[in-house]
Amino acid sequence: MKECDGAVIVAFERIYAKEGLERAESQTVKRLVDLRITTVWNQVEAAMAYCLELPLLIVCEPDLRQEAILEKYDWYVHRTTLSKETTQEEQFEGIFKDWAGRVRAHHRAGPDTSESPSMTKRSDDILTVDLPKFWGFLTVIGALLIAAFLAGSKWPGLAAMNPH
């Protein structure tokens, strides 16, 4: 990911739950109906790109659950029915051209040279990591792991799919 100048996240439905409960054991239990969730890898890859300050283009199906990277924050999420025709729509072409321009600008800027020589980034030296970005990344990964654990242990039918 460090060698990339941008990232595109394409979020398709991966998990569908006809019925379920969120926070089933709490006072704030919420009934879930027709829940659609994408793969957790969309979240992980987008978080990595965001932490590296790469231009990010997120395209996802309209009915996916809006959480984490699929929520609008300081990036744009283009919600559309994913098809070949999607890429030919005027709105998508404009969004893509904007993203491509940011990718070209990122590429022209080259590696970040604002660090002192003693703080150059090396993959084998954890002390050179930008700590706020590192903690942000760990927070996202932790939240995703907790969500995956809770989802897997609470949804009707998912426990039956577990081979153990």
Asked if residue 34 belongs to a domain, the reply is yes
Q: How far apart are CA 78 and CA 105, in angstroms?
A: 21
Asked if residue 1 belongs to a domain, the reply is no
Contact between 145 and 139 (Cβ < 8 Å): no
Give the chain's domain count. Answer: 1
Q: Looking at this protein, which amino acid is placed at residue 1? A: M
Q: What single-letter DSSP state applies at residue 27?
A: T
pLDDT of residue 91: 86
Asked if residue 104 belongs to a domain, the reply is yes
Asked if residue 2 belongs to a domain, the reply is no
Asked if residue 19 belongs to a domain, the reply is yes
pLDDT of residue 120: 43
Asked if residue 23 belongs to a domain, the reply is yes
- What range does the domain containing 16 cover? 7-161
Asked if residue 74 belongs to a domain, the reply is yes
pLDDT of residue 115: 46
Q: Is the pTM of this model over 0.85?
A: no
Tell me, rounded to whole angstroms, the distance of Cα 66 from its chain centroid: 11
**Strand, helix or coil for residue 24:** coil
pLDDT of residue 155: 53
Asked if residue 88 belongs to a domain, the reply is yes
- pLDDT profile of the chain (164 residues), mean per 10: 87 83 83 82 87 88 77 74 81 87 87 47 50 68 68 54 50
